[in-house]
Amino acid sequence: MVPAKVDWERVQGGALSLKQIIGYAIVALLLFFVIKDPTGAAHTVNDIGDFLSSVARGFSAFIGSL
């Protein structure tokens, strides 16, 4: 059996970068929001989708008018 490669620099350092800490904080905040108010989270996702769809339609109309 061949042992898996280990990234010894990461194991020995043990420190998280600021980017990783921010990423974990964002995931934790999103999980908290979904657990605390799932209906509100679903509405937020729906609103974001509607916004992106509206932007795409506007951009398409703009390009079509050129």
| Domain ranges, ordered by start, for the chain | 38-66
Are 45 and 52 in contact by the 8 Å Cβ rule? The answer is no
Extract the runs of DSSP E, i.e. beta strands, from the chain.
none
Q: Is the pLDDT of residue 4 over 70?
A: no
Rounded Cα gap, residues 12 and 18, in angstroms: 18
The pLDDT tens digits for 6-59 are 665 565 556 778 888 899 999 999 899 899 999 999 999 999 999 999 999 999
pLDDT value of residue 20: 87
Predicted TM-score (pTM) of the model is 0.57
Q: How confident is the model at residue 66 (pLDDT cuts 50, 70, 90)?
A: confident
